[in-house]
Amino acid sequence: MSRFDKQAVLAKIGTTGMVPVFYHKDAEVAKNVVKACYDGGVRAFEFTNRGDFAHEVFSEVVKFAAKECPDMAVGVGSIVDPATAALYLQLGAAFVVGPLFNPEVAKVCNRRLVPYTPGCGSISEVGFAQEAGCDLCKVFPGDVLGPKFVKGLLAPMPWSKLMVTGGVEPTMDNLSAWIKAGVYCVGMGSKLFPKDKVVAGDWAYVTEKCREALGYVAEARKA
């Protein structure tokens, strides 16, 4: 089961304002990336279920984080069905994220009081997800929907907590646009982890990029 309760996980995500999204078939690479992000100030990390035996890698990463990154909540992404959600919950997932909304996944996560953040592409989907107990909904794909979608949704539904993923970049302009629109946090993948940096094992780059992005988020929130 998760090392953190639901409120603690949502607080970590909301306080930092950024969730790195990453997958790699090599557990050692994944561990190094998690540690690099942690050193950069990240406190919630999403490992995506995108390859064969991804759950085995996830299991190793969760155990590693418990020792080396004690305040890091490690969650799983790319979850579309309840069976897979249950598998990762058994391995200690602190939160579950998906590209779509599946109410059956919500039931599995709610039973364990683990946050489920489904991907939503319309205001109605966000509404249905909230009715199913989803405290934090994912606006996806972000680069298609844009900041105006977030701002427009929050006008009639100001209680909504939204995480945007897809096309988010670690730049002042990009992050500022999303924060000003009203998102609770952003999810960021490839822009934080360029392939050449991962291949080279340049973990210092990842740490600095995370620190830089978190700084932009903090600045935008003050503004």
* Residues above pLDDT 90, as percent of the chain: 98
Q: What is the mean pLDDT of residues 113-131?
A: 98
Q: Read off the pTM.
A: 0.97
Residue ranges of domains in the chain: 6-218
192-212 pLDDT, tens per residue?
999 999 999 999 999 999 999
10-38 pLDDT, tens per residue?
999 999 999 999 999 999 999 999 999 99
Q: 165: which strand partners?
A: 187
Q: In what order do the strands lie in the sheet with 116-117?
A: 116-117, 96-97, 73-77, 44-48, 18-22, 185-188, 161-165, 136-139, 119-120
**Domain at 6-218: CATH code:** 3.20.20.70
Determine the Cα–Cα distance for residues 216 and 40; give it in Å rounded to an integer: 13
Determine the Cα–Cα distance for residues 125 and 145; give it in Å rounded to an integer: 14
